[in-house]
Amino acid sequence: KKSSLGETKIAVVGASGVGKSALAVRFLTKRFIGEYDQSNDAKYKCTTNIDGETVAFELLDTRCNNDDNGTRDDVLRWADGFMLVYSVTSRKSFDALTEIQKKIEETKKAGHVPISVVGNKSDLAHIRQVTQDEGSKLATEFGCSFQEVSASEDVVAVTEAFHVLCKEVVEFKRR
Ligand code: GDP
Ligand code: MG
């Protein structure tokens, strides 16, 4: 059984430079290139396997404009699930998630919105500013899942991060 394309829409949001594009490209191609186009949003059609079923979804890698962390109104309205990304090397990017989460809740007044918190760049231990525990606590506050990953070094963890969120969105929509 195959779900129709575009049924599930996931946006990757977070401060500029946290690795949103690196994560999306890693998920899609299994590769890490190093430098990514900063000029535009990028929308991809993807699939993941949920309990033996191939589920298609659209993935939006947002571009940040004027410190909006990728949360333009049209993006907030478009997506039905959000990956909130910070970099473990940037306290500022971590702090930004609180405002992002608030903005999502305000836009989607209908109540629960599937989101996940992803701390990227876990390979950069020597310049870490946010502990794993802090990331985990924030996700608990938001009532969502949490993963620390490295777009530059992990394939499995990055794939899993997208899979987990997609699964949650699909299950939420089918309820
Ligand atoms: P975006 O602005 O959130 O889309 O961030 P990018 O994906 O463009 O990444 C910003 C910079 O961080 C680029 O130079 C990437 O190579 C680098 N980067 C992204 N993810 C990682 C990671 O997991 N580890 C390391 N060391 N660098 C990363
Ligand atoms: Mg980008």
What mean pLDDT do residues 1-22 have? 83
Ligand nearest to the CA of 34: 1
Closest CA to 61 of 118, 103, 115, 14: 14
Span 18-59, pLDDT tens digits: 999 999 999 999 999 999 999 999 999 999 999 899 999 999
Span 118-159, pLDDT tens digits: 999 999 999 999 999 999 999 999 999 999 999 999 999 999
Site to substitute for ligand 1 among 13, 21, 88, most atoms within 8 A of C-beta = 21
Contact (CB, 8 A) for 119 and 130: yes
User: What ipTM was assigned to the predicted interfaces of this complex?
Assistant: 0.99
Counting from 1 in the atom list of ligand 1, the atom nearest the Cα of 32 is: 16
63 alpha carbon – ligand 1 mean position (Å)? 13
Atom 10 (ligand 1): residue with closest C-alpha? Answer: 17
pLDDT of residue 174: 84
Span 96-123, pLDDT tens digits: 999 999 999 999 887 789 999 999 999 9
What mean pLDDT do residues 155-167 have? 96
Helix (H, G, I), strand (E, B) or coil at 38: coil
Instruction: State both tokens at 66.
Output: 């004027």
Residues, beta carbon < 5 Å, ion ligand 2: 20-21
pLDDT of residue 2: 52
Q: How does DSSP assign 96-141, residue by residue? A: HHHHHHHHHHHH-TTS---EEEEEE-TT-GGG--S-HHHHHHHHHH
Atom 16 (ligand 1): residue with closest C-alpha? Answer: 34
pLDDT of residue 66: 86
pLDDT of residue 112: 83
9 alpha carbon – ligand 1 mean position (Å)? 23
* φ, ψ dihedrals at 64, nearest 5°: -85, 135
Ligand 1 site: residues with CB under 6 angstroms?
16-22, 34-36, 120-121, 123-124, 150-152
Counting from 1 in the atom list of ligand 1, the atom nearest the Cα of 18 is: 3
